């Protein structure tokens, strides 16, 4: 069944802002219908007058009007199609923007459950299917519906008996295709779901090409793809079979109606009840019904495809982030305290696999915390809670004394800067990578930030300065980190979270990074996930994490002075060996 209400709601919501255009389109469609209906009337007049032996001049005039009518109709049809496409694209672009903004506002948990490919298919594939829906809905369903109604009325006026027959055929045809439609909708839904899954897998593989090839997993990946394709093919065949069923039903209807009209007209002509012109008129009108009915049927197929898309788009828009609603509290300027108060966290929804157990600490404003722990101990997770990419299951994270969920999201992003272990570099200029495509940031500020981090030399080494195009694979891990530091420095946050790259860097880059980190942390609160001894030496406080629990927390100087502390033992054994 077509969910008419949700279709109409969607139409109303997206067409209302384009009311003027829609009104012009409606006028064009009405004009086009009137012109189409007038054609056979002219031909009928022509035939009747020709049979009656009227002078040639009169006939030529009628023919001239007919040609004018046809040409005008084509012009109107082109205008209507143009306008309908414009309306459709404007509406769907709006929807694309709305969906993209919505998806970006969702928490990371959502993004882990929905791979990029599937989201692309939803935001682009499903919305494109809808674009047709927006434009075709008015032009073809409403327009053709009006045309068919007009034809039935005119035929009825000409010969009521044929009119009644036509109405009966349209009703029977409508019932039959309605029934077939119900059978075919679920088939299409299956096809769309498979295609979303397919693109999800392809995007995932494309992203992982390096790892897939390097690990010799290509055969396995191909196997996975083949299995998907094997399932997709029969589903597609069935989806199109539904279409073929609807198509044959409409052809049978068309042929039957033509034959009946022909027989009827021939009979009435035989007994002298109809003239040749009227018989032609009836045949012509009945024939004219085929095209709009055909188009409406095709639109029904598109509508059922759109139905599946509308469902999924609506479901996506209705997805609520796992995060609690953000408040609107603000933070003071300058360095901010960071507090964890009995924080328990797990990545899975049911909280069975606990990643952080009852973590509590207080980091005073302006101090730098070195976070140490083996791989998988939960260091990055702590960083993600500070930046509120997730919310704790229990307990509270406070920044500047305010619980993170009471802060406005923009405030949190502005006052807490983070550099992750793997920095995302976009294929764009260095400038765009630094400002994240914000054209409002003047070059002078960029140069100042780069200078402030002691990276002038690095900037001078770029072949085209800020205009140098870089891509995800052009920069070393260290260079990417430098870029990310500058991003954060531009924000001028009160808290900086650095998830240090654990890979070894070349000594020159390492020195650059150390200098940059020094500058970055001056006058700010810092949480540095340290993999290097040098970083630990910079910290005021040290926190050692083991399997999601804090096993040691204290001022670095005190811990170093205490030979029984874990830190002393770590330093003795060689931290980089133990923590790697
Ligand atoms: N997005 C995620 N979804 C589910 N589990 C995750 C996710 N990220 C991390 N984990 C799990 O949480 C635990 C802590 O991971 P975390 O990334 O915080 O470790 P880490 O201390 O930063 O390690 P490393 O030193 O390797 O960066 C690990 O067991 C990890 O498998
Ligand atoms: Mg980590």
Per residue in 103-114, pLDDT (tens digit) is: 888 877 788 778
Architecture field, domain 4-318: Up-down Bundle (1.20)
Classify 338-579 by CATH class: alpha beta
pLDDT exceeds 60 at position 358: yes
Q: List the alpha helices (DSSP H) in 319-429.
A: 379-386, 409-415
379 C-alpha to center of ligand 2: Å?
6
From ligand 1's centre to the CA of 147, what distance in Å?
A: 63
In which region does residue 395 sit, left (phi positive, over 0), alpha (psi from -120 to 50) or beta (all else)? left
Kind of pairing between the strands at 368-373 and 525-529: parallel
- Please give the structure tokens belonging to residue 68: 């004018």
Query: Do residues 93 and 101 make contact, with C-beta atoms less than 8 angstroms apart?
Result: no
Q: Which ligand is nearest to the CA of 545?
A: 1
CA 98, chain centre distance (Å): 9
Confidence band (pLDDT; 50, 70, 90) for 222?
confident
Closest-CA residue, ligand 1 atom 19, reads: 376
pLDDT tens-digit series, residues 442-488: 989 899 888 888 788 888 888 888 899 988 887 777 888 888 999 89
pLDDT value of residue 362 = 96
As given in the structure block, the two tokens for residue 395 are 């307990």
Q: Is the CB of 377 under 6 A from ligand 1?
A: yes
CB of 379 closer than 6 angstroms to any ligand 1 atom: yes
How are strands ordered across the β-sheet holding 495-499?
Answer: 416-419, 495-499, 525-529, 368-373, 541-546, 549-555
Q: Give the model's confidence band at 364: pLDDT under 50 very low, under 70 low, under 90 confident, else very high.
A: very high
In the predicted model, is pLDDT for residue 578 greater than 90? no
**Contact yes or no for 370/363 (Cβ under 8 A):** no
pLDDT (0 to 100) of residue 397: 95
Q: Is the pLDDT of residue 1 over 60?
A: no
Which pLDDT belongs to residue 503?
Answer: 66
Name the strand (E) or helix (H) holding 528. Answer: strand 525-529
| Of the candidates 129, 128, 99, the residue with the CA atom closest to the CA atom of residue 114 | 99
Report residue 515's pLDDT band, with 50, 70 and 90 as the boundaries. Answer: confident
How do the domains of the chain map onto residue ranges?
A: 4-318, 338-579
Of the ranges 33-47, 164-178, 356-370, 521-535, which one carries the lowest mean pLDDT score? 164-178
pLDDT beyond 70 at 4: no
- Bigger pLDDT: 211 or 132? 211
Identify which of 378, 528, 548 to mutate to test ligand 1's pocket (most ligand atoms within 8 A of the CB).
378
126 pLDDT band, cuts 50/70/90, is confident
Distance 84 CA to ligand 1 centre (A): 50
- Ligand 1 pocket test: pick from 111, 373, 377 the residue with the most ligand atoms within 8 Å of its Cβ: 377
| Residue of minimum CA distance from atom 6 in ligand 1 | 347
Ligand 1 in reach of 373 Cβ (< 6 A): yes
pLDDT at 301: 67
Ligand 1 lined by 159 (C-beta under 6 Å): no
- Contact by Cβ (8 Å): 127, 95: yes
Long-range contacts of the stretch 315-322 (C-beta < 8 A, 24+)? 316/99, 316/102, 316/103, 316/122, 317/98, 317/99, 317/102, 319/102, 319/106, 319/110, 321/105, 321/106, 321/107, 321/110, 322/107, 322/109, 322/110, 322/349, 322/390, 322/391
Q: What is the mean pLDDT of residues 83-112?
A: 84
Rounded distance between C-alpha atoms, residue 123 and residue 92, angstroms: 10
Ligand 1 site, residue 380, Cβ cutoff 6 A: yes
**Nearest ligand 1 atom, CA 378:** 18
112 within ligand 1 shell (Cβ under 6 A): yes
Per the model's pLDDT, the better-predicted residue between 246 and 50 turns out to be: 50
Confidence of residue 545 (pLDDT cuts 50, 70, 90): very high
**Is 187's pLDDT higher than 60?**
yes
219-243 mean pLDDT: 88
Quick one: 319 exposed, middle or buried, by C-beta within 10 A (0-12, 13-18, 19+)? Answer: middle
How many C-beta neighbours within 10 Å does residue 108 have? Answer: 14
CA–centroid distance, 241 to ligand 2, in Å, is: 51
Q: What whole-number distance in Å separates Cα of residue 540 and Cα of residue 544?
A: 13
Query: Quick check: do 4-318 and 338-579 share a fold?
Result: no
How many A from CA of 530 to the centre of ligand 2?
A: 10
Ligand at shortest distance from the CA of 375: 1
Question: Does the Cβ of 420 fall within 6 Å of ligand 1?
Answer: no
Handedness of CA 417, 421, 427, 431 (dihedral sign): positive
Among 248-257, 303-312, 549-558, the range of highest mean pLDDT: 549-558
Residue 356: pLDDT over 60: yes
- Ligand 1 atom with least separation from CA of 548: 14
Binning pLDDT at 50, 70 and 90, where does residue 554 land? very high
pLDDT-derived band at 2 (thresholds 50, 70, 90) equals: low
The answer to whether 398 and 404 have CB atoms below 8 angstroms apart is yes
Q: What DSSP character marks residue 522?
A: T
Question: Cβ(327)–Cβ(408) under 8 Å?
Answer: yes
Ligand 1 lined by 565 (C-beta under 6 Å): no
Q: Mean pLDDT across the stretch 378-401?
A: 92
Q: From CA 33, how far away is CA 85, in angstroms rounded? A: 19
Tell me, using a 6 A CB cutoff, whether residue 40 lines ligand 1.
no
Q: What is the Å distance from ligand 2's center to 68 Cα? A: 74
75-85: pLDDT as tens digits: 999 999 898 88
* Token pair listed for 470: 């870089």
Residue 375 in contact with ligand 1 by CB distance below 6 A:
yes
Nearest-CA residue for atom 5 of ligand 1: 347
Cβ(17)–Cβ(97) under 8 Å? no
- Nearest residue (CA) to ligand 1, atom 8: 381
Nearest residue (CA) to ligand 1, atom 28: 376
Gap from CA of 432 to ligand 2 centroid (Å):
26
- Kindly state if the Cβ of 349 falls inside 6 Å of ligand 1: no
Ligand in closest contact with the CA of 111: 1
The winner for highest mean pLDDT among 29-33, 98-102, 120-124 is 29-33
Ligand 1 pocket test, pick from 379, 390, 527, 545 with the greatest ligand atom count within 8 Å of Cβ, gives 379
Q: Would you give the end-to-end CA distance of the chain in angstroms?
A: 59
The helix or strand, by DSSP H or E, that contains position 71, with its residue range, turns out to be: helix 56-105
The residue whose CA has the least distance to atom 7 of ligand 1 is 347
pLDDT band at 580 (very low <50, low <70, confident <90, very high): low
**Residue bearing the CA closest to ligand 1, atom 27:** 375
Q: Which of 518, 516, 526 is nearest to 365 (CA)?
A: 526
Task: Kindly report the average pLDDT of the chain as a whole number.
Answer: 85
Looking at residue 562, its pLDDT comes to 92
**E strands within 254-393?**
338-346, 354-363, 368-373
Burial of 85 (0-12, 13-18, 19+ CB in 10 A): middle
- Residue spans of alpha helices (H) in 436-563: 443-452, 456-460, 477-491, 507-521, 533-538, 556-561
Half-sphere exposure of 528 (CA within 13 A, CB side): 30
Q: Has residue 145 got a pLDDT over 60? A: yes
| Between residues 475 and 434, the one the model is more confident about | 434
Give me ligand 2 centre to Cα 502, in Å: 9
pLDDT at 268: 86
Ligand nearest to the CA of 503: 1
Q: How many residues can be counted in the chain?
A: 580
Regarding the beta carbon of 384 and ligand 1, being less than 6 Å apart is answered no
Quick check: 226 pLDDT over 70?
A: yes
Q: Residue 34: how many CA atoms within 13 Å on its side-chain side? A: 8
| Core vs surface per residue 263-272: b (16+ CB within 10 A) or e | ebbeebeeee
Is the pLDDT higher at 571 or at 398?
A: 398
Q: Where are the alpha helices (DSSP H) in 378-429?
A: 379-386, 409-415
- The tokens for 523 are 């006058």
511 CA to centre of ligand 2 in angstroms: 22
Q: Summarize pLDDT for 48-76 with one digit per residue, the tens.
A: 999 888 899 999 999 999 999 999 999 99
Cβ–ligand 1 distance for 385 under 6 Å, the answer no
**Which residue puts its alpha carbon closest to atom 9 of ligand 1?**
381
Strand, helix or coil at 363? strand
Ligand 1 atom closest to 579 (CA):
25
Angle at 472 between CA 471 and CA 476, to 5 degrees: 100
């Amino acid at each position: 069944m077509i969910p008419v209400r949700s279709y109409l709601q969607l139409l109303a919501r997206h067409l209302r802002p384009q009311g003027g255009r829609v009104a012009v389109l409606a006028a064009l469609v009405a004009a086009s219908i009137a012109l189409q209906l007038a054609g056979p009337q002219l031909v009928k007049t022509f035939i009747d007058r020709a049979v009656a032996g009227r002078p040639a001049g009169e006939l030529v005039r009628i023919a001239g009007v007919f040609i004018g009518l046809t040409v005008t109709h084509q012009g109107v049809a082109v205008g209507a199609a143009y306008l309908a496409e414009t309306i459709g694209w404007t509406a769907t672009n709006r929807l694309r923007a709305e969906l993209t903004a919505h998806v970006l506002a969702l928490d990371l948990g959502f993004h882990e459950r929905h791979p990029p490919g599937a989201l692309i298919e939803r935001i682009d594939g499903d919305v494109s299917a809808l674009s047709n829906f927006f434009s075709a809905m008015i032009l073809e369903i409403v327009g053709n519906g009006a045309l068919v109604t007009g034809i039935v009325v005119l035929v009825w006026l000409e010969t009521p008996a044929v009119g009644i027959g036509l109405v009966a055929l349209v009703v029977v045809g409508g019932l039959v295709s309605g029934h077939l439609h119900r059978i075919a909708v679920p088939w299409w839904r299956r096809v769309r779901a498979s295609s979303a899954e397919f693109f999800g897998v392809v995007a995932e593989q494309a992203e992982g090409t390096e790892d897939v090839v390097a690990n010799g997993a290509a055969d396995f990946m191909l196997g996975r793809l083949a299995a998907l394709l094997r399932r997709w093919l029969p589903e597609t065949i069935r989806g199109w079979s539904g279409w073929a069923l609807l198509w044959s039903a409409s052809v049978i209807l068309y042929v039957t109606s033509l034959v009946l009209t022909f027989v009827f007209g021939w009979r009435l002509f035989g007994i002298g009840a109809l003239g040749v012109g009227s018989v032609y008129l009836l045949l012509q009108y009945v024939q004219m019904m085929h095209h709009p009915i055909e188009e409406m049927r095709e639109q029904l197929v598109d509508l059922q495809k759109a139905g599946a898309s509308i469902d999924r788009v609506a479901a996506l828009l209705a997805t609520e982030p796992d995060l609690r609603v953000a408040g609107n509290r603000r933070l003071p300027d300058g360095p901010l305290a960071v507090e964890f108060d009995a924080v328990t966290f797990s990545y899975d929804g049911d909280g069975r696999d606990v990643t952080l157990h009852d973590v509590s600490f207080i980091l005073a404003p302006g101090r730098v915390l070195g976070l140490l722990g083996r791989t998988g101990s939960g260091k990055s997770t702590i960083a993600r809670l500070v930046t509120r990419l997730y919310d704790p299951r229990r307990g509270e994270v406070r920044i500047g004394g305010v619980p993170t969920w009471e802060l406005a999201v923009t405030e949190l992003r502005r006052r807490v800067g983070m550099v992750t272990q793997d920095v995302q570099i976009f294929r764009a200029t260095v400038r765009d990578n630094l400002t994240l495509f914000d054209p409002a940031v003047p070059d002078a500020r960029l140069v100042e930030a780069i200078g402030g981090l002691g990276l002038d030399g690095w900037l001078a080494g770029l072949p085209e300065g800020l205009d140098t195009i870089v891509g995800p694979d052009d920069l070393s891990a260290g260079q990417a980190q430098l870029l990310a530091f500058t991003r954060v420095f531009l924000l001028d946050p009160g808290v900086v979270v650095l998830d240090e790259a654990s890979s070894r860097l070349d000594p020159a880059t390492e020195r650059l990074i150390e200098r940059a980190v020094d500058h970055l942390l001056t006058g700010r609160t810092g949480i540095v996930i340290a993999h290097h001894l040098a970083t630990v030496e910079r910290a005021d406080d040290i926190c050692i994490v083991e399997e999601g629990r804090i096993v040691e927390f204290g001022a670095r100087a005190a811990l170093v002075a205490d030979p029984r502390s874990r830190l002393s033992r770590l330093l003795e054994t060689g931290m980089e060996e133990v923590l790697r």
